[in-house]
Structure 1
Amino acid sequence: MAFIGASRGAAQGRSASALAARLGFRIGLVGLFSGTLLLAALLLFSLQPMFTKRVLPILGGTPAVWSVAMVVFQALLLAGYAYAHALTRWLQPRAALATHVLVLLAGVVFLPVGMAKGFGAPPAEGEALWLIGLFLASIGLPFFALSASAPLLQAWFARSGDARSADPYFLYRASNIGSFAALLAYPLLIEPLLGLDAQARLWSLGYAAMTCAVVACGLRLRNAAPVAAPVEAELTVEASPRRRLAWIGLSAVPSALLVAATAHISTDVAAIPLIWVVPLALYLVSFILAFRPAQPGPDRTGRLLSGLQIAGTGCAFAVVVFKQTPFLLDLGLTLGLLFVNALMAHRAVYALRPPAARLTEFYLCTSFGGMCGGIFAALVAPHLFSGVYEYPLLLAAALLCRPGVTAGGLPAVLREARRSAVPLIGAFLAALLALVARGPQLGIEVLMVCLVLTLAADWRSPARASLVGIAIGVACLALQAAVMAEGGNHRSFFGVHRVYTSPDGQFRLLVHGTTIHGAMRLRDDEGRASTGRPVPATYFAPGGPLSDVFEISRRVNGAIPAVSVVGLGAGSLACHARVGEAWTFYEIDPVVIRLAQDANTFHFLSECAPDARVVQGDARLTLSGRTEQARVLVVDAFSSDAIPIHLLTREALAIDFAHLDAQGLLAFHISNRDFSLSHVLARLAAERDLTLLQRLDPPRQPSVGFAHSPSEVVLMSRDPAVVREAKAMGWRAVTPDLSRRPWSDDYANALEAMRDRWRELLTSAR
């Protein structure tokens, strides 16, 4: 009996050990694959802002750099998914593992991450194609190798025999959590603490660890159970062309919205990782929330999202048309609507997912859709539209991604179209009458009111609400274009510039985003046409801080032999020139150059400085290539309200002072809503034993409209006579904070400058 009991106990012990071993294998397998996917995502989504930040200075800090970068990343992601699909279809797991490890090792040749050799200054035209080539040559292979990890490792896990292998889509959530963590960590931890070179070295270590983790996954897979019969049977399941098109379309719309929303925000704040990652993080969160099994019972979340989408879309259309919304409200609406639209579209994609055997094909189609959306928003739309008209069209297209629409398909939408025909026709007729009677503006208002009311009435019907939303989007596009045609939109790689006449008819304005870059008086207060030499207005008006810069130099050192200005705008500063002075403007945007040199549009240059030179290209590249020196250098290179960080570093300052003569003055126009830059420049001035002087010109009372705008300008000099003269004219010295880390090409902390602005606003409010 004792022997039997001992045998039974030993058997039970062996059974428990075997169970524990199997349980440990399963837990270990899930943990290993999840951890590897998370690490791959961390590397991918930290590489995006890290390398784009390195490239940004070459193209003048324009937000379009990130838009093009997104297209490159989506294209590489598509290539990686296609490669993963081929490996799982045509190679056995061991052969696929060996192939993928070789590809990962080939990516080591590109480490540490840096600019590819052979790429000098960008061309005057075709900047987007040049930038695509730079990205591919510099980081193409490492990014491609990492991008294949998500579908490839999920496909391997599906063949592992694990209890959860039948539905491996849960691993995609682990991948997106890693992506989200990288996007939060980069602007909040990595960028403030580490320079770009240190980031590149750390990233190389992570890439090596990722390669080892993939090998570990492959080795564990070798000992896994063979593929179960049901999974093999799934290989015979074919996805219909209609379903593939649904995967592509439902992925394209939120991807295009992501690019459009990011460009909008970057234009009015700054082209920096902090701004880039917020929309992308929300986009990834939508994947995390969408790619999970649906809960039984009524879909209350879907109904809530549907209501939010309808309400947000109506508000967004109004903002697009009327443009009278405070920036913070516009920002919240843009980001919130992006998240809601992305979540609804990705929920619809997840609902149409195929069995695990078709997993790589599914990811290939969704990646292709994402790339198509990015290409449309970043590359096609700027050439197709003179304004940012793609945004209302994308908002309308997002209404077609609602589950109620995708479930019924096109036939259901067409059936519902008849019920919405009468109110839509009535809305357009009312708008047409208003347009004929009072002009485009009233026509827009009447149409918007009618269509938004129709949208509110039909919001419970997904198909009808989508149709009304599309009608609103098309109406916004057509009528907004009609209004813009009164002045003129001019779009380039660097942004959209609008030329129009002020409502009172007194000024012609050049506007980029939310910022006026020049105003020329057409008529005086009595309505008489202005003649003769134009008088600079807005920030450039006589008596303002910028005009002081030239006056200080003349009082201290006499006549100014040469002046250089970074940033042309409408050419307003040219009217501060005097006879005998040689003026040179440095401007990166060819559209701005064309507008400023067209005497029929603005005649600051033609009337005030007809002999002034205009040099096209990024200021740092063009200034460093010049041998002649200037007495005064003014940096006024803001793009909308975005700060040009690459012009505010110690390397940029070295180029600036090499361009100045012994009595040279360096001035920066730093008027900005979101960042305080005087402390940044004071710290850089202290490194060179310079004094930084600041003049903050407050708003004047009573208001003088466009004739004068409040501005903030700083001036650097080590000449005691300049300091005394500037102080006598109302300038004050800024004490540098030596505890700050100076900005450089390797390090810049935009969060610090934003925090300074908030403190100033709070102090002034008290």
Structure 2
Amino acid sequence: MSPSAPSALADDPSASRSRLVLVVYTAAIFLSALLLFSVQPLFTKMVLPRLGGSPAVWSVAMVFFQTLLLAGYAYAHVLMQIRNRRIAVALHLVLLVVALSTLPLSIASGFGEPPTSAYAFWLLGLFAVSIGLPFFALAANNPLLQAWFVRTGHPAGPDPYFLYASSNIGSFLALLSYPVLLEPLLTLRMQNLLWTSGYGLLILLIAGCGVMLLSSPALAVADRATEETDAPPPQLPLRARWIFLAAVPSGLLIAVTAHISTDVAAAPLLWVLPLSLYLLTWVLVFQSRPLLPHKWILMLQPMAIAGTIVLLAVGGEQNLLLTLGGHQLCFFVIAMACHGELARTRPAAKYLTGFYVALSFGGMIGGLFAGLIAPFAFSWVAEYPILVALAALCRPADGGERLPRLVRWTWLVLALLAVALIVPTMLPPGRIWTWLGDHRVWVASGVGVFAAALAIVLNADRWKILAAVALALVLIRIYPADDGRVETVRSFFGVHKIVVTPSGQYHVLMHGTTIHGAQKYLNDDGTPVTGRPEPISYYHKDGGIGQAITAVRERKGAPLRVAVIGVGSGTLACAAEPGEDWKFFEIDQTMVDAARDPRYFSYLQNCAPDFKPVIGDARLTFAKEPDGLYDLIIVDAYSSDAIPIHLATEEAMKIYKDKLAPQGAVVMHVSNRHLELSSVIVGIADANDLRSWVFSEDSGRDD
């Protein structure tokens, strides 16, 4: 063979070998992504019951996954610096095999019950010890296999980013298939075994990729071509912008997911919808020929920002389609704009692993802000509007404003409008200020829509869009939709609002957008209410819960032993009669503190001065109670309209049944704006040989 033969092979590898390399590498990357993203809802669902089904479990899980993704990408970057490719391939295969030895997935020993505080850090430790190693190994595969592919000498090697789209297609399909196919058809154990089998198959595919890399006759030439390219290295400002562009949509992903799942249910379906859209944006922007041109998305992005402002201003929680569809559509457009900028500014293949490290670092920063920092820093869900405003800075810098003089005067008008709208909050009431207060939602929304229209028509600078968006969001905050004085308390389990009506007559407890108790403090004539507080809202004596208590009490003819899951405002403490034993189970200490605070509610102070609740997830703590003890079990543990799904299963109902005394009853509150739950509860009761009655507040009758 002539000396030029190796070079010829490098320049023109056989078509069959090229096809085989492409198929094996694509299959390995696809399967790796499939496993990487299917394990997220799978394992999080295993953990969810230990923390009351809180939507924050998924937020913290996302922080963990994004952090491990960064660690995996950094590991891949370091591994590619090893000159001897055999050592690099061997090290990665050893890591995968060691990770396989820790499977199948299970919650690590020592994490049986959560603590009574610092839930987020406890969760991070649980995830790290339980699935940290296999997830870390999976996280490294995408950039590592792409870098190997570049060095196989394949003709497509100089631009391997199409494989990133293949990876995200696998992730996208994994997430969509989980709530639609895997979750309803397979038990958690079967899902676990299937996932473990896939992990073993992946090791074989990656071993095949390693063999193809090492046996490639074009290896040396490919390495030299990759390493000696004239492409300049990315500068620090560009790397910082990559991090920012990745951080904003990553944080928005957690914020949007928390927003919609808090008001519906902490369920895998509502987790994977935003995450699927997030991954779909990566698929679309890294295609060779994007289906949606980036310039179109940049035109739509200000409209999406304005749409989010309107949704935040007017609410829409009464409409499930608006809550789910509107926020996710706006999120999709904003994420497409950010990720499109990343695709547009991606570096040469030589700097591929460093690019992915920057992306994953930005993703981790966004996740840490939305999932860990914001819940401690803010007493309300401020991270969502903050990230929406920052999305304006994800636009390209060189937009080229049209009619700059007009734009300058327009922003002066906006500044004057801001002063005109903020000043009323510091002045005595007046006709103009009252009108602005009454129309605050539409004024704030109008500012956001106007800013978006201005951006599109005049191609305004991104800093000006940010200013207008920030103004609109400040207006929404200054003129909140709630009437009266509002106290907010934020915990791992959500944001609780104690609203004092304008007249001061009622104190109302709200979680999200749902009332969870109220107390009357003033009579209609303005005099203070004295004596034992009367249970109101849906706890009144003629409501479903009130009638159930009366019926069980009359049937037994003796003092009751009652278990209540969920404290709320403490209203049910005043439903107890002298001599009865009522025991409360609550997972959120801040809820107990609010119910005990006489500034907010006095039910516990007046009716249960020795109140000592059992703190922890009720499915775990209540299971420890003696069997056959309670005459009545009341389950009312919603978070906003979100359902603690693990408290409404056949297994949970069996626990309740075991704890019931003869002729006892379980009362479950099932009212919900979005979901029909009566048939679900009747079904799990039937499965446990229990007879059911459904009380409808609207009809006022039993069915």
1:136–1:364 distance in 2 versus 1, CA, 3 Å:
same
| Cα-to-partner distance string for 1:521-542 (whole Å, 9 max, x where unaligned) | 1334444433322222221112
1:80–1:579 distance in 2 versus 1, CA, 3 Å:
same
Would you say how many aligned residue pairs link Structure 1 and Structure 2?
A: 679
Aligned to 1:73: 65
Gaps of 5+ in 2: 1-9
Residue 418 of structure 1 and its aligned partner are, at CA, apart by: 5.8
Which letter maps to 1:352?
A: T
1:475–1:457 distance in 2 versus 1, CA, 3 Å:
closer
Say whether the 8 Å CA contact 2:553–2:560 is kept in structure 1.
no
Say whether the 8 Å CA contact 1:396–1:466 is kept in structure 2.
no
1:527–1:679 distance in 2 versus 1, CA, 3 Å:
same
Aligned to 2:259: 264
1:245 matched to 2:237: no
| Cα-to-partner distance string for 1:737-760 (whole Å, 9 max, x where unaligned) | xxxxxxxxxxxxxxxxxxxxxxxx
Aligned to 1:37: 29
Aligned to 2:613: 614
1:675–1:373 distance in 2 versus 1, CA, 3 Å:
same
Q: Secondary structure at 2:613's aligned position in 1? A: strand
Query: How many angstroms apart in 2 are the aligned matches of 1:482 and 1:90?
Result: 59
1:481–1:606 distance in 2 versus 1, CA, 3 Å:
farther
Query: How many angstroms apart in 1 are the aligned matches of 2:412 and 2:312?
Result: 26
Query: How many angstroms apart in 1 are the aligned matches of 2:45 and 2:512?
Result: 22
Which letter maps to 2:501?
A: S
Say whether the 8 Å CA contact 1:459–1:465 is kept in structure 2.
no
Matches within 5 A, 1:464-543: 464=461, 466-473=463-470, 476-477=473-474, 480=477, 483=480, 486-503=485-502, 505-543=504-542
Gaps of 5+ in 1: 1-17, 701-729, 733-766
Deviates more, 1:344-353 or 1:611-620: 611-620
Residue 573 of structure 1 and its aligned partner are, at CA, apart by: 1.5
Matches within 5 A, 1:188-203: 188-203=180-195
1:421–1:474 distance in 2 versus 1, CA, 3 Å:
closer
Say whether the 8 Å CA contact 2:303–2:452 is kept in structure 1.
no
Q: Secondary structure at 2:266's aligned position in 1? A: coil
Query: How many angstroms apart in 2 are the aligned matches of 1:285 and 1:479?
Result: 31
Aligned to 1:429: 419
1:25 to 17, 20, 25: 17
Q: Secondary structure at 1:319's aligned position in 2? A: helix
Query: How many angstroms apart in 2 are the aligned matches of 1:537 and 1:642?
Result: 22
Aligned to 2:6: none
Query: How many angstroms apart in 2 are the aligned matches of 1:490 and 1:478?
Result: 21
Say whether the 8 Å CA contact 2:311–2:327 is kept in structure 1.
no
2:46 to 42, 46, 54: 54
Aligned to 1:544: 543
Q: Secondary structure at 1:693's aligned position in 2? A: coil
1:98–1:177 distance in 2 versus 1, CA, 3 Å:
same
1:142 matched to 2:134: yes
Residue 443 of structure 1 and its aligned partner are, at CA, apart by: 8.5
1:458 matched to 2:455: yes
Identity %: 43
1:334 matched to 2:327: yes
Deviates more, 1:671-680 or 1:73-82: 671-680
| Cα-to-partner distance string for 1:46-100 (whole Å, 9 max, x where unaligned) | 1000000000000000000000000000011100000000111124222111000
Query: How many angstroms apart in 2 are the aligned matches of 1:416 and 1:50?
Result: 54
Aligned to 1:274: 269
Say whether the 8 Å CA contact 1:633–1:656 is kept in structure 2.
yes
Q: Secondary structure at 2:693's aligned position in 1? A: strand
Residue 502 of structure 1 and its aligned partner are, at CA, apart by: 3.1
Query: How many angstroms apart in 2 are the aligned matches of 1:653 and 1:36?
Result: 43
| Cα-to-partner distance string for 1:115-160 (whole Å, 9 max, x where unaligned) | 1111121111100000000001010000000111100000000111
Say whether the 8 Å CA contact 1:685–1:691 is kept in structure 2.
yes
Say whether the 8 Å CA contact 1:254–1:373 is kept in structure 2.
yes
Say whether the 8 Å CA contact 2:13–2:154 is kept in structure 1.
no
Say whether the 8 Å CA contact 1:427–1:450 is kept in structure 2.
no
Residue 311 of structure 1 and its aligned partner are, at CA, apart by: 2.3
Which letter maps to 1:47?
A: V
Aligned to 1:441: 437
Deviates more, 1:299-308 or 1:385-394: 299-308
Residue 318 of structure 1 and its aligned partner are, at CA, apart by: 2.8
Q: Secondary structure at 2:569's aligned position in 1? A: coil
Residue 302 of structure 1 and its aligned partner are, at CA, apart by: 3.6
Which letter maps to 2:702?
A: W
| Cα-to-partner distance string for 1:654-680 (whole Å, 9 max, x where unaligned) | 322333223321111111223333333
Residue 508 of structure 1 and its aligned partner are, at CA, apart by: 1.3
| Cα-to-partner distance string for 1:725-746 (whole Å, 9 max, x where unaligned) | xxxxx433xxxxxxxxxxxxxx
Query: How many angstroms apart in 2 are the aligned matches of 1:102 and 1:681?
Result: 49
1:416–1:278 distance in 2 versus 1, CA, 3 Å:
farther
Residue 317 of structure 1 and its aligned partner are, at CA, apart by: 1.4
Aligned to 1:731: 702
Query: How many angstroms apart in 2 are the aligned matches of 1:444 and 1:234?
Result: 58
Q: Secondary structure at 2:158's aligned position in 1? A: coil
Which letter maps to 1:423?
A: V
What's the Cα RMSD here?
Answer: 2.7
Aligned to 2:576: 577
1:393 matched to 2:386: yes
Matches within 5 A, 1:309-458: 309-323=301-315, 326-402=319-395, 404-405=396-397, 407=398, 421-435=411-425, 436=427, 437=430, 438=433, 441=437, 444-445=440-441, 446=443, 448-450=445-447, 452-458=449-455
Deviates more, 1:141-150 or 1:579-588: 579-588
1:675 matched to 2:646: no
Query: How many angstroms apart in 2 are the aligned matches of 1:442 and 1:664?
Result: 51
Aligned to 1:215: 207
1:111–1:447 distance in 2 versus 1, CA, 3 Å:
closer
Residue 613 of structure 1 and its aligned partner are, at CA, apart by: 2.9
1:415–1:219 distance in 2 versus 1, CA, 3 Å:
farther
Residue 442 of structure 1 and its aligned partner are, at CA, apart by: 5.2
Say whether the 8 Å CA contact 1:563–1:583 is kept in structure 2.
yes
Residue 416 of structure 1 and its aligned partner are, at CA, apart by: 11
Aligned to 1:696: 696
Query: How many angstroms apart in 2 are the aligned matches of 1:111 and 1:476?
Result: 47
Residue 463 of structure 1 and its aligned partner are, at CA, apart by: 4.6
1:82 matched to 2:79: no
Say whether the 8 Å CA contact 1:128–1:493 is kept in structure 2.
yes
Which structure has the higher relative contact order (CA within 8 Å, separation 6+)? 2
TM score, norm. by length of structure 2: 0.91
1:697–1:557 distance in 2 versus 1, CA, 3 Å:
same
Say whether the 8 Å CA contact 1:583–1:609 is kept in structure 2.
no
Residue 394 of structure 1 and its aligned partner are, at CA, apart by: 0.7
Which letter maps to 2:347?
A: P
1:268–1:143 distance in 2 versus 1, CA, 3 Å:
same
